[in-house]
Each structure stands twice: as C-alpha cells, then as structure tokens.
Chain A
Amino acid sequence: QVQLQESGPGLVEPSQTLSLTCTVSGGSISSAGYFWSWIRQHPGRGLEWIGYIYHSGSTYYNPSLKSRLSISVDKSKSQFSLKVNSVTVADTAVYYCARVNKLQQLVDYWGQGTLVTVSS
C-alpha cells in the first residue's frame, strides 16, 4: 500500500517561499508508470492542480502558477518537494501530494493534506 505524507511549515509570511516535502513509502518513487504531483485546495473551495514531476526530474506545471513554482525529486530519500515563491494570502490552502498514474492521468493515491496559511 503506497503512502504519502506531506511535511513543512504550517505558517508562511507574505512574500516568502512556501516549501513542502512529500515522503513516499510502500512503493518506489522511481517506478516508470507514475508521476508525483501537488494539488491544493483553498478553504471551502475546489481542487487546483499545481504540477507534477517524473522520477527523471521532468516537470509539468499549471501555467497559471508556473512562474512561481519549483517541484523537485530526491530519489535517495523517496521524497519530492514543492516550492512556491512570493506567496500571498491567496496561496493559503490545504496542499496535497499525490501519486499520478501516468498512462491514465489520474490520482490513485493521495496524502492526507497539510494546511499552509500565509499570514504575517
């Protein structure tokens, strides 16, 4: 059973960088058939795709967020990470990490989610 766990600060000041890490267990982050994704959900709102990364390091970003995003992978630690630069209160959300089935382009495993609040 694949498990994903988000970790990182729950509070970030405006204009700073939001950094989160997702630790994968129960499956290999180097598996050929999967991407590793970040998805967020603003309070009381719907889901927003942020982007995903392949174990090779290839990335795909939401065009509306691309200029502020960076997703990276550390295969040795079975982790992938998200950085969002120049955050504002609009970046306050629950952030989920997830495993994406590459062929079918769907999420088959989700992390539990972590709330990140942007506030001074």
Chain B
Amino acid sequence: SYELTQPPSVSVSPGQTARITCSGEALAKQYAHWYQQLPGQAPVLVIYTDTERPSGIPERFSGSSSGTTVTLNISGVQAEDEADYYCQSADSSGTWVFGGGTKLTVL
C-alpha cells in the first residue's frame, strides 16, 4: 500500500495565501482530490483531479501538481476557511488512501 503525507498544521493570517501539500509516490501517476472538513461536519470536496474546482466552491481555492506532490492553495484566506483538509487518491487496483489531514488555523 502507499501513503500520502501532509503537514499536520498550517497557520496563516487572514488575507494571506495558505498552501497545503500532499506527497506520495503514487501521485506521479494518479490524480489527487482535496476535501475540507469543518468541525463536526462531513467532508466536502473542494478540488478534484489535482486542479479542478467543483461548482459552488469559491475561486480562492485552487490546486496544483508537480511530480509526486500536489498542493491545495487558498488565496485571500478567510476565517471561515479554518478547517481540516485531506488529500485522497486511489491506485490502479481501486485501493484508496487519504492523507493524514492538515489543520488550517487562521490567526
């Protein structure tokens, strides 16, 4: 099985850009998706296939990919963006893995 590694925490001031990384060898060949989980709620998809944004997700959320690392970018961070963020991918056999999650703190 493979792993996806995320930093446990990221802190930014309001209005700044938050960057949350997700690393794993499989990401060189497989897409990654990003979910936001607000306290006490189910996760919500915010970025899919590395860079695409679902309808209804604010434009300040974007994604990028380079080699074995994908990055979730949140520009002009707002207090409401404070949440846990998880990356997720699947290998060619259909086995899924989630990253360990990153807690975004808005200072």
Could you list which residues of chain A lie within 8 angstroms of chain B, going by C-beta atoms?
46-49, 60, 62-64, 96, 104-108, 110-113
Asked whether B86 is an interface residue with its Cβ less than 8 Å from the other chain, the reply is yes
Contact B95 A108 (CB under 8 A): no
Contact B101 A46 (CB under 8 A): yes
Q: How far is the CA of A105 from the CA of B50 in the complex (A)?
A: 12
Q: How far is the CA of A104 from the CA of B49 in the complex (A)?
A: 7
Contact A111 B42 (CB under 8 A): yes
- Nearest-Cβ distance from residue B47 to partner chain A, whole angstroms: 10
Could you list which residues of chain B lie within 8 angstroms of chain A, going by C-beta atoms?
1, 31, 33, 35, 42-45, 48-49, 86, 88-90, 94-101
15 contacts between A and B (CB under 8 A): A46-B101, A47-B35, A47-B86, A47-B101, A48-B98, A49-B95, A49-B97, A62-B96, A96-B42, A104-B33, A105-B31, A105-B96, A107-B45, A110-B42, A111-B42
In-complex Cβ contact of B42 among A46, A60, A106, A113 (8 A): A113
In-complex Cβ contact of A49 among B48, B96, B101 (8 A): B96
- Nearest-Cβ distance from residue B100 to partner chain A, whole angstroms: 5
Which residues of the other chain, B, contact A49 by a CB distance below 8 angstroms? 95-98
